[in-house]
Amino acid sequence: MLSMPLFSLLMALLFIFFIAVNGDSSYTVPEETKARDVIGNIAKDLGIDAAELKTRKARIETEDSSKRYVDINLNTGELVVAETIDREKLCGSRINCILNYELVLENPLELHRISVNIRDINDNAPMFIKKRISFEIPESADKGQRFRLDEAHDYDIGQNGVKDYSLEKNNHFVLSVKENKNGRKYAELVLDKELDREQQKNIDLILTAVDGGIPQRSGTAVIHITVLDANDNVPVFTQSVYKVVLAENALIGTEVVTVSAEDADEGANGAVTYEFSHIAHKAAQLFTIHEFSGQINVAGDIDYEEEKYYEIGVQAKDGSGLASTASVIIDINDVNDNAPKIVLKSLNSPLPENVIVGTEVAIINVQDKDSGDNRKIRCAIHGNVPFKLNPSIKNYFLLSTTSILDREMEEYYNITITASDGGSPPLSSYMIIHITLSDINDNPPVFEQQSYTAYVIENNKPGNSISAVTATDPDCRQNGTVLYSLVPSEINGVPVSSMISINSDTGVIYAVRSFDYEKFKDFKVQVVARDNGSPPLSSNVTLSVFISDENDNAPQILYPAAEGKTLMTEMIPKSALSGSLLSKVIAVDTDSGQNAWLRYQIVKSTDPGLFTIGLHSGEIRAQRDITESDSMKQNLVISVKDNGQPPLSATCSIYLLISDNLAEVPELKDIIYEESNSKLTFYLIIALVSVSTFFLTFIIVSLALRFCHRRKPRLLFDGAVAIPSAYLPPNYAEVEGAGTLRSSYNYDTYLTTGSRTSDFKFITSYNDTTLTAGGTLQNIKNETLAASLISLNNTGEENED
Ligand SMILES: *[C@@H]1O[C@H](CO)[C@@H](O)[C@H](O)[C@H]1NC(C)=O
Ligand SMILES: *[C@@H]1O[C@H](CO)[C@@H](O)[C@H](O)[C@H]1NC(C)=O
Ligand SMILES: *[C@@H]1O[C@H](CO)[C@@H](O)[C@H](O)[C@H]1NC(C)=O
């Protein structure tokens, strides 16, 4: 058992110890100080800049979430009274009334312990529980006999507690003031002069108790003494101190102890009654004593956490008012009846997802009102979360991250924290902390495809959508909002923006103009997807646009020249046999594929059975041997049609003259200008043509005759056969791939493949004067002349009729 002075010394030492250890602040404030009164400047005392208080969320916290009587003024850093404190209500008879608080600062977590010592002021007067103290004293009582009086109570403590007693002046009694082992003063009535019942039957005296406060306060009671005749005995307790141990939470009605006193008297004088002679206000609500049996019972909720022991004075009084006292000391045992309490002191949520590993997220305080092992708390985190709990100052824990967080993976965490104490069985509690992550623009938009391809049919309508790109960004709101744009570039010198456009919100790509396959077949453009964060993140992708062909170009006849342009006349030897190659229609189509696959047809001829044309080669051959009876002048109308949908076509006329010698052609005029009425002009032309052609033919024929006697068939090409380069369509050689004409140098690959009769075989060079097969020697020097014989679009098939 601790005596009160020792206990208070220990408390004081403990108090000093805490201050020393934490280096924190201690303040003293008298009770009954009004709210908003300043206790001290805590910011100054702790060396904290008062301006920081607000930003660091400075606040006063209690250690055990109890009521808070002080507060901090965030502007000045002053510690102020939050609510008027009544020391007596708060601490009862405890010597030290200390409120422990913590000043919590965040970023970083800082904890300063503040203790506020509530100084007692003399606001309570001494008081007797019973205003009338009755005694029955036999007249035989000896001088010097003592009678213990009820103690006076003063809720104040120390100096302000009961200091002295005084008795109204009288003839028989004096007062002896004593101190019990708790340091409390009590008084005994001492008989100073024998009583005489015959002289005075009743005596009333006023007992005054005073405290030591300034100003002094006092309380009184009346002592009523009845002088008895008989000889009485004083009841005597069996023990002077009854010491018991009581578990907290003992049920109401539980017997604590039974005190008993014996009185040697018989009858009413020996009938002992019990009562509390001294009992603290709180204890009076927790315990009762049975008047006759002396049994002390539990009458309220015993809580170790409120009071660890009680000392109660009991008094036994017999019928004649003779009394004696004893004390009952009740030690309360702690029971593990309080589960740990988890208090979230600070939470940094939403937490930016890019915080570094180890960032403090929350401050947690654990409390357990029990003592000893019952308040040893272990804390743990449940589940697999990237957070850990680190013990910090005292019973504080810091929750910090253990790995990099990613909002796009996990948007929020529910962290379950459990705290269990060391009692048996242990009690535990848990708390769920919700942590939300806030977004950081850490993801660039990502296209759904590595590259995009758009196919557009040429001659498209401007404004039509041709493709769409999609990029996704998992970030939040504007950080995840994707905007599309085209990277400025040029295609064949034309800015890409004049070709296609993109809807910046949807990623839909539109054609700005109508494309022409014959101008370009494909182009590439970079599309950028950018989010709206700051700074924004972006990524890009290649969009390839392929333009596909449409049959928008009609075949173009290179030879013979289109109708009406020039005079085109072919001479055919009279001896031409069936199947011999007589001439060739050359046409191209700037479209590609099927659209450029040409078919040749004779649509009109002077003698329908005489000539055929290769469907794909355009070669005009004799269908049968030419005879003398055949008309000398032959006229063919040939159509060239492509294979597009719908097909496009072109026609040309070709004039054939069956003759070995121009001189034999007296009526050439009929062929050339069948419909001309101007005979004069006609003859003039004939004369001119005849003279020049004759001369030319003569030279060629005589040369040919020198090389080969048996010429069959003989081919004669008019000078007009030469294809002037101006006949070639624009960009002709530039058309690549699917075009009909790869390059002018490719002509030789097609040579004679369509020619069944193999009258000519151009093996290596156009300049070669030697013909190896067919025995016909034809010196063809003119390269353009040779070119005219080439099947431009021969697909390799045999000539068909
Ligand atoms: C987290 O807790 C909230 C609120 O209690 C609840 O709505 C949510 O479903 C929980 N989430 C998970 C993943 O447990
Ligand atoms: C977007 O990210 C930035 C940092 O990159 C962040 O400050 C902002 O709060 C984010 N916006 C949203 C809506 O989450
Ligand atoms: C496109 O992306 C590549 C690599 O992803 C980058 O190097 C380039 O700068 C980007 N171009 C544009 C115009 O953003």
> Ligand 3 in contact with 638 (CB < 6 A)?
no
Ligand nearest to the CA of 438: 2
C-alpha of residue 509 to centroid of ligand 2, in Å:
29
pLDDT tens readout for residues 297-354 = 999 999 888 888 898 989 998 877 778 889 899 999 988 888 899 988 888 888 999 9
**Percent of residues, the chain, with pLDDT higher than 90:** 31
Minimum CA distance residue for ligand 1 atom 1:
414
Please write the tens of the pLDDT for every residue from 740-798: 433 333 333 333 333 333 333 333 333 333 333 333 333 333 333 333 333 333 333 33
- Which band of pLDDT confidence, cut at 50, 70 and 90, is reported for residue 689? low
Residue-wise pLDDT for 74-85, tens only, equals 999 999 999 998
Range list of β-strands (E), 507-631: 508-511, 522-531, 538-548, 556-559, 569-572, 581-584, 586-588, 598-605, 611-613, 619-622
pLDDT at 8 over 50: no
Choosing from 351, 408, 475, 479 the residue with most ligand 2 atoms within 8 A of its CB, the one to mutate for a pocket test is: 479
Name the residue type at position 778.
Answer: Q
Atom of ligand 3 nearest to the CA of 538: 14
Q: Which ligand is nearest to the CA of 533?
A: 2
Atom 7 in ligand 2: which residue has the minimum CA distance? 440
For residues 347 and 397, the answer to whether their CB atoms sit within 8 Å is: no
The residue count of the chain comes to: 801
What residue has token string 């009858």? 267
For residue 414, report the distance from its CA to the centre of ligand 1, in Å.
6
pLDDT digits (tens, 9 = 90+) for 583-618: 888 999 888 888 889 999 999 888 888 889 999 988
Ligand 2 close to Cβ of residue 441 (< 6 A): yes
In the numeric block, the tokens 């908003």 are attached to 36
The torsion angles phi and psi of 405, rounded to 5 degrees, stand at -105, 155
Query: Which atom of ligand 3 lies at the shortest distance from residue 528's CA?
Result: 14
How many angstroms does the Cα of residue 473 sit away from the middle of ligand 2? 13
- CB neighbourhood size of 710 (10 A): 6
Cα of 540 vs centre of ligand 3, distance in Å, is 6
Query: Strand (E) positions, 463-578?
Result: 465-468, 471-472, 482-486, 490-491, 494-495, 500-502, 508-511, 522-531, 538-548, 556-559, 569-572
Dist. CA 733–CA 320, nearest whole Å? 144
The DSSP letter of residue 721 is G
E strands, 95-229, in order: 98-105, 110-119, 127-128, 132-138, 146-148, 152-153, 162-167, 173-179, 185-191, 202-211, 218-228
- Indicate the pLDDT class of residue 183, thresholds 50, 70 and 90: confident
Please give the backbone phi and psi of residue 547, each rounded to the nearest 5 degrees, phi first.
Answer: -100, 130
User: Average per-residue pLDDT in the chain?
Assistant: 79
What kind and span of H or E run contains 436?
strand 428-438
Tell me the C-alpha distance between 424 and 754, whole Å: 108
pLDDT at 324: 84
Q: Is the peptide bond before 488 cis (omega within 30 degrees of 0)?
A: no
At a CB cut-off of 8 Å and minimum separation 6, what does 418 contact? 379, 380, 382, 428, 429, 430
Return the closest-CA partner of residue 28 out of 99, 104, 92, 77: 99
Angstrom distances, CA of residue 575 to CA of 627, 635, 764 = 7, 19, 29
DSSP label of 497: G
Question: Which of 36, 31, 128 minimizes the C-alpha distance to 88?
Answer: 31
pTM of the predicted model as reported, rounded to 2 decimal places: 0.56
Q: Which amino acid is present at 770? A: T
740 CB near ligand 2 (under 6 Å): no
The span from the CA of 792 to the CA of 794, in Å, is 6
Six token digits for residue 70? 């002080």
CA distance 782 to 536: 68
Residue 430 pLDDT = 93
pLDDT tens-digit map of 469-515: 999 999 988 999 999 999 999 988 889 999 999 999 999 999 999 98
CA–centroid distance, 526 to ligand 3, in Å, is 9
Task: Give the atom of ligand 3 at the shortest distance from the alpha carbon of 487.
Answer: 13
pLDDT band at 233 (very low <50, low <70, confident <90, very high): confident
Pocket (CB within 6 angstroms of ligand 1): 414, 434
Determine how β-strand 132-138 pairs with β-strand 218-228.
parallel
Question: Can you tell me the distance from the alpha carbon of 621 to that of 609, in angstroms, rounded to the nearest whole number?
Answer: 11
Which ligand is in closest contact with the Cα of 412?
1
Distance CA 652, CA 638 (A): 5
Check pocket membership of 540 for ligand 3, CB cut-off 6 A: yes
What spacing in Å lies between the alpha carbon of 475 and ligand 3's midpoint?
20
List of residues 6+ apart from 772 with CB closer than 8 A = 761, 763
Transcribe 55-67 into DSSP letters. Answer: HTT-EEEETTS--
Please give the span between the terminal C-alpha atoms of the chain, in angstroms, as a whole number: 134
